[in-house]
Structure 1
Amino acid sequence: MLDDLCPNMSLKKLRIEKYWSRQFPTWLIELQLPNLVEVNISCGCKHIPPFGNLQFLKNLSLQSMGGITQMGAEFYGYGGFPSLQKLILERMHKLEEWSEYHGVDELFPKLQSLKIFCCPNLKSMPRLPTIQHLEISQCNGSILSCMGTLTSLSVLRVGNLNDMAFLPNGYIRNLTSLTKLKITQWTQLQSLPGNEMQHLEMLRSLTIEWCNNLASFPSEVGHLNSLCFIRLLGCPSIIWQPEELIQILNSVHQFQIQICGNKVNLRGQLQHLHTLKGLSLIGAHVSSIYKYNKGYENPELSICCCDELQSLMTAEVANSAQLEKLYIDGISNLTTLPDWLQHLKSLRLLTTRNCPRLERVPMDLKNLHMLEDLRIVGCPQLESRCETQTGKD
């Protein structure tokens, strides 16, 4: 039936979903639609039409093509994708080889973005001289060995490569144009290669999230403007040296990090974070309190398993603090808010939740003239003290 539905030759966008025939219709195999600009295919066919011959094709997405084992000359045709800018390969479970081809002058001369998802057997890809954005997820880790030639790459996102615990040497050091790196849901990853990271002089943004077993972090990571280190299940496994953590955070303009108070002793250190504007202090594991934090803005620094607040700052030095938002959540033994709160002259929001033994709010809070929003939730000992007219507070 699809063979008889040959579209008009002027068609520019084509999308075919869940087409489980063994072969494409004749009009697609012979590319009787020369003006196609965008193609999205989800099918079970075993052969790919020579899409490289479509001289106007800019966006191509190939999904669920479980019968395809290799992409090469048949795929490139005689054109080599002269206009293609964005390519997506997704759920191609049997694809093993994506080879070079010398039958055309230049392959992918304008390709800027490549996304490869759920291609667990793919181990190679051709040189891509102009690519700027690359995403690889749920693939074989050996495909990363092909990244060394992607010197034009600006943005890299890598995730779910759970057959590897380390990034081997030589994989990323040549990415001299890289400005943004995101590593996500790589549960087996244990460390980042510090000697490789030092070569990424253009790197400005680094995000690491849901990497449950990451235990070490390089002390030198170039000239970052933004550092995001988030893990929302259990306690972060990484152990920072307090001075090292303070140095890193003071060297970046924006950061968002979760650490565990049982593993990183920050007593008397927080006042040295001169740019810190958002802080969350949590009494339990991150996973157990996350449901309460859905309404929060993401704080720059979150400390879980934190039950001793008084010693986190030294009052004499806290006058220089830039802290604007403070969240205190689930600290069961907290009876009074710490004295250093009165020195946070820039504080605009103070939220205290689920501290059942909290008995007193310091009167010195009235000296926080910038405070706009005070929220106390789930602290029953304070209920009688805060009654209108009759309560002591």
Structure 2
Amino acid sequence: MERLPFLKSLHISFLEELEYICYEQDFTSAFFPSLESLSLQFCYKLRGWWRLGDDFNNTNCSQNLSLPPFPCLAQLSIIGCRMLTYMPVFPNLENRLELYNSSVETLVATLNTVALESSNHFPPLSMLKSLHIDGVILDVKRIPKDWLQNLTSLQLLQINWFSCQVLQEIEIWFKDDLKCLPSLQIISFHNCEDLEALPDWICNLSSLQHLRVYDCINLTSLPEGMPCLTNLQTLEIIGCPLLDEECQTQSDETWPKLRHVPKIILSSLH
């Protein structure tokens, strides 16, 4: 399939018995030279792009690095592929990365790549503009703690289904870094059901313009440092009935944190 030189989009989904996409390795020709969009969804037994002999459970990042990278890939979606650990890396991804209910091994392998000549020696994922991740099986300890330093072009970060524990664990990604994600304009929290307070580290995102919170049903409070977000233009709180009520009443505890925001959108229903 990698011999299709003009293929621009590839979507593979609901092949529930699929374990490997290819059973032959042939690097003599260009590897998907035109592929711009790749989606792998709900292939529950998918282990890797190629079969590695009889080693079915190898998650060594160096194995991923031995594969040719996707040279033109701009958008990648991996959803519901928990066993996928071995595929070509994607250091030059530009538009969008979705990683839902899937292993982080492909991300870790990409972060461990050496920048290609074609990327002018920029760090991996330094051109990425949109990142969507969930915390269902997120192994935070597997991801380098300083990886966000690479994401200098990131404009949108969407966080789905993170528990309080995982949100506390990822604090190390943001803590005490006032230059964290310098291009970030939008951050969204979705379905963080046991979250009671937004994490303090969002106040380090100085370029933030839009904060969106959806369906966090137990959320009751905003960070004390909210006034530090001087570029914040819009605050959306949708489907968060407890926090919605707190904001509607403009209580002495909540109103000072958000009165500097020009546009506030509130709805207890979504």
**Aligned equivalent of 2:117:** none
* Structure 2 unmatched ranges of 5 or more: 50-62, 112-123
Q: Secondary structure at the match of 2:6?
A: coil
How is 1:85-234 mapped onto 2 (pairs within 5 angstroms)?
85-98=36-49, 100=64, 107-132=69-94, 133-148=96-111, 149-164=124-139, 169-187=145-163, 189-191=166-168, 192=171, 193-195=173-175, 198-214=179-195, 215=197, 216-218=199-201, 219-233=203-217
Once residues 183 and 65 of structure 2 are traced to their aligned partners in structure 1, the CA distance between those partners, rounded to angstroms, is: 31
Matched positions, count? 227
CA distance in 2 between counterparts of 1:146 and 1:221 reads 26
Are residue 270 (structure 1) and residue 247 (structure 2) matched? no
CA–CA distance in 2 between the matches of 1:254 and 1:75?
50
The TM-score, its normalising length taken from structure 1, stands at: 0.49
Within the candidate set 23, 30, 33, 1:82 is matched to 33
Equivalent in the alignment of 1:240: 223
- The corresponding residue for 1:65 is 15
8 Å contact kept, 2:227–2:260 = no
3-state SS of 1:54 partner: coil
Distance 1:82 1:76, change over 3 A: farther
Structure 1, unmatched stretches of 5+, are 1-50, 295-393
Cα distance 1:197–1:146, how it changes in 2: closer, same or farther (>3 A)? farther
- For residue 190 of structure 2, what is the amino acid of its counterpart? E
Deviations 1:198-245, CA, capped at 9 Å, x for gaps: 431121211112122445231211311222123343x2165532xx23
Partner secondary structure for residue 169 of structure 1: coil
CA contact (8 A) 1:139 1:160 kept: no
Closer, same or farther: CA 279–155 of 1 in aligned 2, 3 Å = closer
Amino acid at match of 1:254: T
> Partners of 1:108 and 1:275 in 2: how far apart?
41
Give the share of equivalent positions with the same residue, in percent: 22
Measured in 1, the distance between the counterparts of 2:43 and 2:35 equals 20
1:1-42 CA distances to partner (integer Å, 9 max, x unpaired)?
A: xxxxxxxxxxxxxxxxxxxxxxxxxxxxxxxxxxxxxxxxxx
Letter in 1 for 2:129: S
Counterpart residue type for residue 205 of structure 1: I
Measure the CA separation in 1 of the matches of 2:18 and 2:139: 25
Question: Superposition pairs for residues 39-58 of structure 1, below 5 Å?
Answer: 51-58=1-8
Q: Is the 8 A contact 1:134 1:156 kept in 2?
A: yes
Q: Counterparts of 1:201 and 1:146 in 2: how far apart (Å)?
A: 24
Given the superposition, is the C-alpha separation of residues 273 and 114 from structure 1 closer, same or farther in structure 2, using an over 3 Å criterion?
same
User: d(CA) in 2 for partners of 1:179 and 1:54?
Assistant: 32
Bigger relative contact order, structure 1 or 2 (CA pairs below 8 A, ≥6 apart): 2
Aligned residues of 2:65 and 2:109 also touching (Cα < 8 A): no
Describe the shift of the 1:197–1:64 C-alpha distance in structure 2 as closer, same or farther (beyond 3 A).
Answer: farther
Range with greater deviation from structure 2 (161-170 or 92-101): 161-170
Q: Larger C-alpha radius of gyration, 1 or 2?
A: 1
Partner SS, residue 82 of structure 1:
coil
Rate the CA distance shift 1:74–1:53 in 2: closer, same or farther, 3 A: same
Q: Deviations over 1:59-94 (max 9, x none)?
A: 111122333334567376633101111111111212
3-state SS of the aligned residue for 1:67? coil
- Equivalent residue, structure 2, for 1:363: none
Q: Which moved more, 1:134-143 or 1:113-122?
A: 134-143
Q: Which amino acid aligns with 1:115?
A: S
Matched, 1:251 2:234: no
